[in-house]
A and B are shown apart, each in its own frame.
Chain A
Amino acid sequence: MTVTVSRPDTGARTSLPLDIEAIRADFPILSRTVRDGKRLVYLDSGATSQKPRQVLDAERWFYENINAAPHRGAHQLAEEATGAYEAARATIGAFVGAPEREIVFTRNTTEGINLVAYALSNAATAKEPEFRKYAVGQGDEIVVTEMEHHANLLPWQQLCERTGATLRWLGLTDGGRLDLSDLDTVINERTKLVALTQQSNLLGTINPIAPIAERAHAVGALVLVDGAQSVPHSPIDVTELGADFLVFSGHKMLGPTGVGVLWGRYDVLDALPPFLTGGSMIEVVRMEGSTFAAPPQRFEAGVPMTAQVIGLAAAVEYLQALGMDNVEAHEKALTGYALEKLAEIPGVTVIGPPDTVARGGAISFTVDGIHPHDVGQVLDDLGIAVRVGHHCAWPVVRRYGVPATTRATFYVHTGYDDIDALADGVRAAQKFFGVS
């Protein structure tokens, strides 16, 4: 467990890079009140982000003007819907430095990771020799970390159970970082794939992808990066990342629910068999058997979530207008301030890195003598929305010897006033439960 220390370099209320008053005006939900007229202090963007009007307008625009199933039909609406859908793919790809043919739309991060995991086991039984290149089987190893969200753990556990492969993992240090001391033994010539998060949803830790990817590639393994908590909050370029796959969710980056992205290096995607099969993903279909389309269509069976994709492109444009460097700097300033404010409260312990070095705006903490659910309830009563529990990362809370944590996460509309409200709320919880 890590105890926060007051860092003089992090706590100052420097002026924030983003104009939060202007930004807040774009988010209709932030003008509502909760729990008897209290201002909504939304500190749960890590679970799902709120949506600016521009995103909501884009979805409405699609349905009101060009709604049709893309890649089907020869009528004007179908043409326009296809055009808008593919233009959105280009916009979203460019956001992470990827060409459009490497962008696959999924339901969310979870589905993107499952897509890869199932493709690797489907590869073992594929009738097409060209799909067997990355097949996983007995004697192979998959590597994850102890820091993963369940979405980047269970699909690999299940892949191993289906194929007889072995799951291995990199552990964590007491300071909330990956323990890379045994990197060269955990990732070895038996390793087929290394899956790790770029930013922990619970600890806030930002992981060094480059050295891990370098080791993985040296032994011929693929690298999948869970970007659910990093892509929304910092500039990411897949040409610099060093990974073979990057997976993220639209709903955590101001976009709609129901759309996520799997980026994959084209040559890798092209060597993988499909996960879900059906309409849209085919080349030729006969009763005796079928062949499949090239990526990305091979991995997009069925009528896609067209309106959501267009909404996500609007979210990307919104973030680009703010500038991802500014978004990152904004959250870094808030994180430093929040770590300092929480450190001032006796009995509060931050689980995760104590300063802003290689750390994002997800702060988990415990309050001595009060269960996180009860902390969350008092905060809710004050209009402050946080997440409590194990945050779908049960092994992480177990690693740090706590049953659960309270977690505050920040985004583009978060300001110092929100963090002051959080700190005051924690003190109110201590008072209510008589532990201060």
Chain B
Amino acid sequence: MQLESMYQEIILDHYRHPHGRGLREPFEAEVHHVNPTCGDEVTLRVHLEGDTIADVSYEGMGCSISQASVSAMYDLVIGKTVPQALETSEHFMTLMQAKGDPSVAEKLEDELEDAVAFAGVSKYPARIKCALMSWMALKDASARALSAPHPTTPAEGQS
């Protein structure tokens, strides 16, 4: 079975026991992203302190890859500045374009921590978008949060 190369134990752990799941306050921006080919969804909030990401909270439904990806992302970006988080996002994008090349994963191990386990996903073109959905939502929400003047209440949250 080649399945284990994609469904690394770390990924299944994140899927079964997601980190940081649930929508929390305060937050400066909320976004809702969908994957139109499969109907998977994520609602994601970002809370900044200055330009540091103090919290990312989320709810969503989707496959193990999309759900594990958002959980691993949560671990990676809390405490980083928005530019640092976007850099990490670029690294993750690079990993997703690696077509399973182990040397790419090796180089990015320090930057991506648990998320380097998604290297196997890059061998399956149909699943890459599952892994990327939460990162796209984070990018979108961070940009909105930076331009938002004050923390908003859920009723005012953008989507």
Contact = CB atoms under 8 A, between A and B. Distances in A.
A390 B1 contact: no
B39 A373 contact: no
Interface in A401-436: 403-404, 432-433
A371 interface: yes
A240 B15 CA distance: 53
Contacts of A394: 39
A372 B41 CA distance: 14
B62 interface: yes
A371 B39 CA distance: 11
A388 B38 contact: yes
B4 to A, nearest CB: 9
A253 B64 CA distance: 34
Interface residues of A, number: 18
Contact of A36 (B2, B40, B62, B124): B2
Contact of A373 (B12, B41, B63): B63
A389 B127 contact: no
Contact of B63 (A36, A374, A397): A374
A57 interface: no
Interface string B1-27: 111001100001000000000000000
B77 interface: no
Nearest to B40: A403
Contact of B7 (A35, A372, A432): A432
Contacts of B40: 373, 403-404
Given A371-B62, A373-B127, A432-B7, A403 B2 contact: no
Nearest to A402: B39
Interface of A: 35-36, 371-374, 377-378, 381, 388-390, 394, 397, 403-404, 432-433
Interface of B: 1-3, 6-7, 12, 37-41, 61-65, 124, 127, 130
Given A373-B63, A389-B39, 7 more contacts: A373-B64, A373-B127, A377-B6, A377-B127, A403-B40, A404-B38, A432-B3
